[in-house]
Structure 1
Amino acid sequence: MTRNVPSLPAALALAALANAAPLPVSAEVGSRAEAIYQSHCAACHAPENIMVSSPKLNNAAQWRERLAPGLDHVIDRAVKGFGAMPPMGLCDACSRDDIEAAIRFMAAPALDTPIPAD
């Protein structure tokens, strides 16, 4: 039996979200979100990628600006695609919940403050 255990940074990010996020946080969700980030999101959202204007992993200021219209708005754009963001981040196997988990993983520091309701 293999157990999925999130990395320490992912576990800390998920712990920070526990009070602010309605999404149930579990080791399985955290490891899935991190895996989605690594395989589909990091190409544009990695902090070292300065060639695109996407909000970067754990950059609270960039994510707060992007989340200003509300989390559901950002999720809808990620699911449907917007500008340079391809629909579903080109993750054909992802569900809307997976996309939400990946966004919450990337935006964890920005989620320490309330997000306006849509």
Structure 2
Amino acid sequence: MFSITTIFSQTYRILIGSGAALLLSSVMMTSANAADIATTYNNSCAACHDSGALNAIKKGDSAKWQQLMKQKSMPALINSVKSGMTQMPAGGLCSSCSDEDYRKLIEYMSK
């Protein structure tokens, strides 16, 4: 027969193990997401930001990106991407991007 202490102890171990597994999978997903930013850039942003088409700031033009970030702020840039601009469709061709994805994409392009 199991005592309450034994049952509690086993339940506690299961919960701790589950929490550790959840934390580990979260970390792994974050690493995978970081690798996906380059892919997302290539699929959604590169058409204009690689060539500068439609006056898009080119990827890697750090001076222009830093100037833009200083003028507008990151939250305003993210809102601009989400809303679209004259030369850029709303969402910047990424219909599944979150605000965090847009932030990472802007940072990626600015390097």
Shorter-chain TM-score tier:
0.5 to 0.7
Report the Cα distance in structure 2 between the residues aligned to 1:90 and 1:81, rounded to whole angstroms.
10
RMSD: 1.6
Q: What stretches of structure 1 move > 3 A for 4+ residues in a row?
A: none
Number of residue pairs matched by the alignment: 81
The one-letter amino acid of 2:36's match is: R
Task: Quote how far apart the aligned CAs of 1:43 are.
Answer: 0.4
CA shift for structure 1 position 102: 1.0
Matches within 5 A, 1:97-112: 97-108=100-111
TM-score w.r.t. length of structure 1: 0.61
Asked if structure 1 preserves the Cα contact closer than 8 Å seen for 2:37 and 2:101, the reply is yes
Question: Where in structure 1 are there 5+ consecutive unaligned residues?
Answer: 1-25, 109-118
Distance 1:56 1:50, change over 3 A: closer
What's the counterpart of residue 52 of structure 1? 54
Post-superposition Cα deviations, 1:56-83, rounded to whole Å, max 9, x if no partner, equal 1111112022212211111110111112
Contact map agreement 2:45 2:93 (CA 8 A) in 1 = no
TM-score by length of 2: 0.64
Question: In the aligned structure 1, how far is the partner of 2:98 from the partner of 2:53?
Answer: 27
Q: Please, which of 77, 81, 85 is the counterpart of residue 82 of structure 1?
A: 85
CA distance in 2, matches of 1:42, 1:69: 22
Q: Which has the higher contact order (CA 8 A, sep 6+)?
A: 1
Larger Rg: 2
Q: Check the 8 A contact 1:59/1:107 in 2, yes or no.
A: yes
Q: Are the equivalent residues in 1 in contact too, given 2:83–2:90 (CA < 8 A)?
A: yes
Q: Which piece of structure 1 moves more, 97-106 or 49-58?
A: 49-58
Matches within 5 A, 1:55-70: 55-67=57-69, 68-70=71-73
The structure carrying a bigger helix percent of its residues is 2
Equivalent residue number for residue 95 of structure 2: 92
The answer for unaligned runs of 5 or more in structure 2 is 1-29
CA distance in 2, matches of 1:58, 1:29: 21
The sequence identity of aligned pairs, in percent, is 26
